[in-house]
Structure 1
Amino acid sequence: MGSGSVLTSTKPTQIPTQEDPPSPSTSLLSFNTDSATDPSNPHHKNTTNSIIFISLVLVTCIALSAASAFAFLFFSSSSPSPSVPPTEISSASLQTTARPLTKLNHSVVLLISSDGFRFGYQFKTPAPNIHRLIANGTEAETGLIPVFPTLTFPNHYSIVTGLYPAYHGIINNHFADPKTGELFTMASHEPKWWLGEPLWETVAKQGLKASTYFWPGSEVHKGSWTCPQRFCMFYNGSVPFDERVDTVLSYFDLPDSEIPVFMTLYFEDPDHQGHKVGPDDPEITEAVAGIDRMIGKLIDGLEQRGVFEDVTIIMVGDHGMVGTCDKKLIFLDDLAPWIDISTEWVQSYTPLLAIRPPPGLAPSAVVAKMNEGLQSGKVQNGKNLKIYLKEELPSRLHYTESDRIPPIIGMVDEGFKVEQKRTNRQECGGAHGYDNAVFSMRTIFIGHGPQFARGRKVPSFENVQIYNLVTSILNIQGAPNNGSVSFPSTDRTLKNELMLQLPKLLQMKEGTRLYGIMMVFDEHRSQEVEVPGLPLLQETLLWTHRT
């Protein structure tokens, strides 16, 4: 599909099927992590030589491939196909395994976002209410994978449309229309920016009620969605979290026919604190504890109304967070001996560098000069920034098919930042927006309710799958989207993926410990080599060998 057509259509990309080789991201959906392999087993301690290490990998292959032979169901029905408008899902297929509703007469899905909730934050401080949802529901055991770029608006809109940013149009938090020069900001509510069909529009189109509390894009009047005053809150960051929870709870005091079937709830924390202090500061633990209190308040309110077990709660984040410091800065002015990068060319600096050179200057020439300078060894931290023509970005990023994406994209390594010129500022904090393959960019997924298995751990998956998940739970017809046709399971085995990597593992030097495998991944990432199953192998080995 031509890039220009993306601005007026929502046609999804070709989605890998069981007959097509899956991308590294979708391959994570294919395996059951409920393995007999016990991560606390003493046989999984750090290996001291490559022979023992390879033996462990082979044992892992056998054990986990046996477990993966049993296909699991993430919820009680299959997701509709993304290549055409999904057909209506049989209610009988849902009712056979779903726990029956006890008080509500219809399903209700409450989608909660905790902005910047990096995977692992839930272990930083006691979070009894979040862990109650985990213990009695389904969790992505190693986190939810955001879309690229790992920024707030692109990811929140991907969650509710099932589309990658190139297809739903929100390709950054701020960007310019290439034809008119008009700027998109986080306060832009014109429908022309917001493509695709978000869940509240899907619900309204079928004559059902939805409510939104501060979700990006929800204020936009589009299609069947008119942002009704009663159920649609315009963003106001000063509204206390308690008030937001109270408002959502009040909807359950309405007559059953008036209760929205789909609701959203948004909290700015812990993203707010993460940008100020990074992911490892006590402020983060305080923020996570605060979010946990809000989840507790919500649970208590639902229990008081007798509907807690009837309501499906899906708790997610939009991205993770990584610490940044001045020593990890890259300055575009340092490229002056090779090429002068005007500030007028730059649409965003960091962590996603986006450049649109003026007419008459070939983007390929700019990319060549920039990379020449960055790899010369004469630019501070230059080797930690790689410049691409957008059509040459790794295909797993799905960040090509839109005219809104500038022709030149720069990707920095984890924790690095790009600025135009040197300053005297001294600043350490946190950032996101990096490659979505970076583990620190992962966030959480927790599902609790009648159609989620209790205590289930599932592999990581991309957030574009959530749209189909919600429409299946609500038993409504969804719009075309990028959600995988094979989600939540396929017939590929973990053994196959691991065996693909053994030749590389065998090249590891004597005495290489587990961190050596991370070097293998870093090497592939730096060379931008597309290796099937590589993220899966990394994730599996980390899971198998953790102590």
Structure 2
Amino acid sequence: MGSDSLPSKLTSTKPTPIPTNELDDDHDHDDSPSTAALLSFNTDSSSSSEPLSTSNNKPLFIVLILVTCISLSVASAFAYLFFSSRSSSSSSTTTASSATSPSPSESHARPLTKLNRPKVILISSDGFRFGYQFKTPTPNIARLIANGTEAETGLIPVFPSLTFPNHYSIATGLYPAYHGIVNNHFLDPHSGDAFYMGAIDPKWWLGEPLWETVVKNGLNAATYFWPGTQVHKGPWNCPLNFCRHYNSSVPFEDRVDAVLSYFDLPSDEIPDFMTLYFEDPDHQGHKVGADDPQITEAVSRIDRMIGRLISGLEQRGIFDDVTIIMVGDHGMVTTCDKKLIFLDDLAPWINVPDNWVISHTPLLAIMPPSGYSPSDVVAKMNQGLSSGKVENGKYLKVYLKEDLPSRLHYSASDRIPPIIGLLEEGFKVKQKRSKNKECGGSHGYDNEFFSMRSIFIGHGPQFARGRKIPSFENVQIYNLVTFILNIKGAPNNGSASFAKDVLLSAA
């Protein structure tokens, strides 16, 4: 790590574990009381108070026998229909239940058939909003879902729901305040140095990412584009042929083929952990929003890449042995000109010049110079925003970072500016009015918004087939991978029991 004071301060901060996302593995039981009697018959001849006349005994006796026989036949028919219906209902309930939970035969992980130890491929499709998979046929993604485990209503990003903070949270299991990548662009308040997305100085990248953990445990890792992988940290030195430097012009097909080629190496040289990254559909989402036909084509393209990967693994006879974890880093929401807020409109209350603003949108981050009280700035900004005189002002609320909702976990780093503004979904902040018109898409909003969710699909020997699990934050993925690889991980914000809740137990 770097020698500046900020990393040493952050690494001494004890991460706050989040509650376990306990899964309810118990099935509903039929607690209805046992059925007593379907129909009641009184066949006791002594119930009659008057003796039968001897002259009418025989005919009456015959009538009674006939009535009794008919009644018993009717009762038997009703009983048969009742129990048949009940049995059918019970059978349907069992079938529905097994569709969302592992069958008895799926209680244990499936053994490897060709590989000698677990292999994990972690795939990120940038900006793959949950629900995109329903926009167009995605047969290959659907195959992973049908034969694997899916977060039923999506994967929850960390805040801010931006690319670099989330990719590094997935890799480290830490919230941005603890791993140090608090935004796509930010300043070190001590040195004044600026972080940008190509920065590879280890001083920025705190925590221990999966590729470092894997190598530290004596295994092999290979990364094909993932934020932070070019950084030399600990035992990880971005080895030639196993660490590709980011280049957006590399065709997606070449990326998939490179990962597949690792499986042609001698068995003891095959990486145990691999990453694979695609820029789509984030690239299209920013240009056209979340609902444009270009998104549909981008999603289809990603599905074709998943199909290419599956086909390559099948040709090598190892598809069922390899664990594939497919995720996205965040979602996407459509934004247009009518949803703009201009900081210059706050001039009657306070002047917020451009050089105070670290980022405008969708995460408003402000660092006033010394001599200005952050609390006074917040008070005056909120006064103007709530006055009804600032266009769309009610859709922005400004906080001191320590007053942000605790669920955001966004206050424990000096790299986070003292003033943070939270926007309502789809709104954007600009410094001043202009005649430029725009309508596209954005992300970075409160991770509570459903539109910010992405996908999680796990397929492999330790994932139950056809299982749906509740949504969870992406800081849990680090522990999931270390559990599958059976290695010791670094301290993180994930739950220690999460992997045991999600994965099948060892055979």
Question: With structure 1 as the length reference, what TM-score do the two structures score?
Answer: 0.75
2:277 is equivalent to residue 266 of structure 1: yes
The aligned counterpart of 2:439 is 428
Give the superposition deviation at 1:10.
6.2
Distance 1:214 1:155, change over 3 A: same
Residues 80-479 of structure 1 aligned to structure 2 (within 5 Å) = 97-479=108-490
Give the superposition deviation at 1:8.
4.5
**Corresponding residue to 1:9 among 11, 29, 43:** 11
Q: Distance in 1 between matches of 2:12 and 2:137?
A: 42
| Root-mean-square deviation (Å) | 2.3
Q: Distance in 2 between matches of 1:395 and 1:310?
A: 40
Deviations 1:352-385 (Å, cap 9, x if unpaired)? 0000000011100000000000000000000000
Q: Distance in 1 between matches of 2:183 and 2:136?
A: 32
What is the DSSP-based 3-state SS (H/G/I as helix, E as strand, rest coil) of the residue aligned with 2:345?
Answer: helix
Deviations 1:446-475 (Å, cap 9, x if unpaired)? 000000000000000000000000000000
Deviations 1:99-132 (Å, cap 9, x if unpaired)? 1111110100000000000000000000000000
Distance 1:360 1:124, change over 3 A: same
Which amino acid in the other structure matches residue 330 of structure 2? H
Counterpart contact for 1:375–1:382, Cα < 8 Å: yes
Distance 1:271 1:480, change over 3 A: same
Q: Distance in 1 between matches of 2:435 and 2:171?
A: 41
The structure number with the bigger radius of gyration is: 2
2:22 is equivalent to residue 30 of structure 1: yes
Distance 1:466 1:316, change over 3 A: same
Give the superposition deviation at 1:485.
3.6
Which amino acid in the other structure matches residue 326 of structure 1? D
Give the superposition deviation at 1:97.
1.6
Q: Distance in 2 between matches of 1:249 and 1:206?
A: 23
What is the DSSP-based 3-state SS (H/G/I as helix, E as strand, rest coil) of the residue aligned with 1:314?
Answer: strand
Distance 1:368 1:489, change over 3 A: farther
Q: Distance in 2 between matches of 1:32 and 1:289?
A: 34
Counterpart contact for 2:223–2:244, Cα < 8 Å: yes
After TM superposition, which residue ranges in structure 1, 4 or more long, deviate above 3 angstroms?
A: 3-8, 31-37
Give the superposition deviation at 1:486.
4.6
Counterpart contact for 2:7–2:204, Cα < 8 Å: no
The aligned counterpart of 2:48 is none
Q: Distance in 1 between matches of 2:424 and 2:281?
A: 23
Deviations 1:208-234 (Å, cap 9, x if unpaired)? 110000100000000010000110000
Question: With structure 2 as the length reference, what TM-score do the two structures score?
Answer: 0.81
Which amino acid in the other structure matches residue 129 of structure 1? N
Q: Distance in 2 between matches of 1:188 and 1:423?
A: 32
Deviations 1:35-88 (Å, cap 9, x if unpaired)? 879xxxxxxxxxxxxxxxxxxxxxxxxxxxxxxxx9x999xxxxxxxxxxxxxx
Which amino acid in the other structure matches residue 22 of structure 2? S
Distance 1:276 1:32, change over 3 A: farther
Give the superposition deviation at 1:30.
2.8
- Compare relative contact order (CA 8 Å, sep 6+) and give the higher one, 1 or 2: 1
Distance 1:448 1:11, change over 3 A: farther
Give the superposition deviation at 1:342.
1.1
Which amino acid in the other structure matches residue 478 of structure 1? G
Residues 23-102 of structure 1 aligned to structure 2 (within 5 Å) = 29-32=21-24, 97-102=108-113
Q: Distance in 1 between matches of 2:142 and 2:9?
A: 41
Q: Distance in 1 between matches of 2:489 and 2:500?
A: 20
Structure 2 gap ranges (5+):
30-97, 502-507
Which amino acid in the other structure matches residue 368 of structure 1? A
Which amino acid in the other structure matches residue 30 of structure 1? E
Q: Distance in 2 between matches of 1:402 and 1:7?
A: 9
Which amino acid in the other structure matches residue 300 of structure 1? S
What is the DSSP-based 3-state SS (H/G/I as helix, E as strand, rest coil) of the residue aligned with 2:255?
Answer: helix
Which amino acid in the other structure matches residue 16 of structure 2? Q
Deviations 1:384-405 (Å, cap 9, x if unpaired)? 0000000000000000000000
Which amino acid in the other structure matches residue 110 of structure 2? R
Q: Distance in 2 between matches of 1:247 and 1:35?
A: 44
Give the superposition deviation at 1:481.
0.2
Which amino acid in the other structure matches residue 186 of structure 1? M
Deviations 1:232-269 (Å, cap 9, x if unpaired)? 00000000000000000000000110000000000000
What is the DSSP-based 3-state SS (H/G/I as helix, E as strand, rest coil) of the residue aligned with 1:253?
Answer: coil
Q: Distance in 2 between matches of 1:170 and 1:73?
A: 37
Q: Distance in 2 between matches of 1:265 and 1:247?
A: 10
Aligned residues: 427
What is the DSSP-based 3-state SS (H/G/I as helix, E as strand, rest coil) of the residue aligned with 1:344?
Answer: helix
Q: Distance in 1 between matches of 2:214 and 2:267?
A: 16
Which amino acid in the other structure matches residue 420 of structure 2? I
Counterpart contact for 2:149–2:458, Cα < 8 Å: yes
Counterpart contact for 1:322–1:430, Cα < 8 Å: yes
